[in-house]
Amino acid sequence: MPDVQALVNDFVLKLKRRKIEGSHASARHTAELLRSVISQQRMPHTNQAGALIDAVKAVGEQLIAANPVELAVGNIVRRVLHIIREEDLSSTATAIEGLGLSAGSDDDDEGQHVDHPALSAAALAAAARSTLRAPSLQTLLEDIPRSAVTPQPPSSGGDSEGKSKSDKNLRSRKLKHDVIEAINELIQDIDTCHEQVSEQAVEHIHQNEVILTFGRSRTVKEFLCAAKEKNRSFRVFVAEGAPRYQGHVLAKELVGKGIQTTVITDSAVFAMISRVNMVIVGAHAIMANGGVIAPVGINMVALAAQRHAVPFVVVAGSHKLCPLYPHNPEVLLNDLKSPSDLLDFGEFSDCMDFGSHGGSPLLHVVNPAFDYVPPKLVSLFITDTGGHNPSYVYRLIADYYSADDLVVKRRSTS
């Protein structure tokens, strides 16, 4: 336990100091951290899932509080919670099946005491899920309890029935093992989402296309490179993305791949957009309403694209899907960075002094990190699960998150 706590503290500190930035890095780190939290979590005899969920929530709360703007952290915490619930559900389902097969068996206390409530809860949850899960004619026609059996993750093999009679130690390890397995899959997903996104590149980029992108996003880079590898020839305008100027890096990488690249200043976006066929940008997070949190300046690009009827495409891995609906995102989901990016402190330092002029300095320097692009400006999301409309995002989110986890907060009663 202590070493986990140390890990958590270390990560929290890194998040607070913005040592870890970028949704990919923070998502990965979060997943790995939660994995070790779960593996170190001592399992009680009863309500194992609840214990895991509590532990994850406790850590997740800290992580989210450390950098509330880094939405990927919260996303991964919720994903892990969702995984635990799913695994719990499936193991309960198999237990029920086992129960049905060997009726009146000497199951352990959990099976005995929580038998009926567990069954009904599982049934209800499954029912709730089945409404969100891919509806098939069968689930529509058949009864609810039976549908609960249908979503069986592959991780819980058929041999679980045999093991259901084995001792509790094994069972508790089983759930943990499954959850860790699933988290490993999640980490793998996060790592490979670029490839899955970029596989779709050829479907969207045609010959002689002129593409505008903004700043640097790894997903965008992979996307463009993938199209280039399929021998599409196209031209890319890269807006440099002040004040981080990551566009320079992207331009260098693209040129390394042999793509015709032109670097423009951010202010020239409107001037150039009339000659652009498509805007492809990365995102910091995709909100549940289809809005996008992205590096500062992208709203301007999106507006310009809308003006010239240029498709505005956002490519992002599914770990950037955030189940929250934004409220005043320009302010609440934003980070104000140091003014030194924009102005030299030497020149204006006396004007920025809060001590003079009655507490409010003469000069304010605003250097936000993110922009919010409303869903109506986005033409298409390309995620690792395919292309989606902004209006469909809420549905994607239902696949990845359970509604109970939207607010990550430990229950005060426990």
Partner 1 sequence: MDRRVPRTVIDPKFRQVGFVPPGATPPPARSHSVPNDARSSSELSLSGSSLSPVMIPPPRHASADGLPSVVRSAASPVPIPASPLRRDTVQIPIGSYNPSESLLGSSPMMSPSRQLDAVSEFSDDVPTSARLGRSGSGKFASSFPSSSGEMMTMKITGGGGGGNTPKSSLTTASVVKALPGVSEKDRGALIEVQNEGISKPQKQKTQKLRGVPFKRLSVQRRLPAKESGEAVKPSASSGGALPALKQGKVVKPSSQKKDGPQVTAPVASSEKKVVDRIPDKDRKKDVPHPRMQFDDKHRVEKAKRRAVVNQSEARNRVELFRHLPQYIHGTQLPDLESKFFQLDPMHPSVYKVGLQFLSGDISGGNARCIAMLLAFQEAIKDYSTPPEKVLVRDLTAKIGCYVSFLIECRPLSISMGNAIKFLKNRIAKLPHTLSESEAKSTLISDIDRFINEKIIIADKVIVRHAVTKIRDGDVLLTYGSSSIVEMILLYAHELGKQFRVVVVDSRPTLEGQALLHKLVAKGLNCTYTHINAISYVMHEVTRVFLGASSVLSNGTVYSRVGTACVAMVANAFQVPVLICCEAYKFHERVQLDSICSNELGDPDVISKVPGRNDLNHLHSWADNENLQLLNLIYDATPSDYISMIITDYGMIPPTSVPVIVREYRREHLWI
Structure tokens at 116: 């009926």
Considering beta carbons, is residue 145 or 361 the nearer one to partner 1? 361
Q: According to CB under 8 A, which one of 22, 36, 209, 245 is a site residue for partner 1?
A: 245
Of 259-318, which residues contact partner 1 (CB under 8 A)? 259-272, 274-275, 296-297, 299-300, 303-304, 307
Structure tokens at 301: 């690009």
CB of 250 to partner 1, least distance (A): 9
- 360 three-class SS: coil
Considering beta carbons, is residue 180 or 264 the nearer one to partner 1? 264
- Are 398 and 132 within 8 A, CB to CB? yes
Pairing of strands 312-315, 370-373: unpaired
Backbone angles phi, psi at 340, to 5 degrees: -65, -20
Amino acid identity of residue 128, one-letter, is A
Neighbours of 344 (CB within 10 A): 9
**First vs last C-alpha separation in the chain:** 19
Give the interface size with partner 1 as a residue count (CB under 8 A): 54
Amino acid identity of residue 30, one-letter, is T
CB of 343 to partner 1, least distance (A): 6
Considering beta carbons, is residue 87 or 266 the nearer one to partner 1? 266
Considering beta carbons, is residue 185 or 209 the nearer one to partner 1? 209
Q: With binding defined as CB under 8 A, does residue 349 bind partner 1?
A: no
Amino acid identity of residue 37, one-letter, is V
CB of 368 to partner 1, least distance (A): 5
Of 81, 88, 83, whose CA–CA distance to 59 is shortest? 81
Q: With binding defined as CB under 8 A, does residue 47 bind partner 1?
A: no
Considering beta carbons, is residue 117 or 346 the nearer one to partner 1? 346
Q: How many Å apart are CA 291 and CA 378, to the nearest integer?
A: 8
Of 352-371, which residues contact partner 1 (CB under 8 A)? 362-368, 371
- 378 three-class SS: coil
Residues lying near partner 1 in the complex (CB under 8 A) are found at: 235, 237, 240-243, 245, 248-249, 251-252, 255, 258-272, 274-275, 296-297, 299-300, 303-304, 307, 330, 334, 339, 342-344, 347-348, 351, 362-368, 371-372
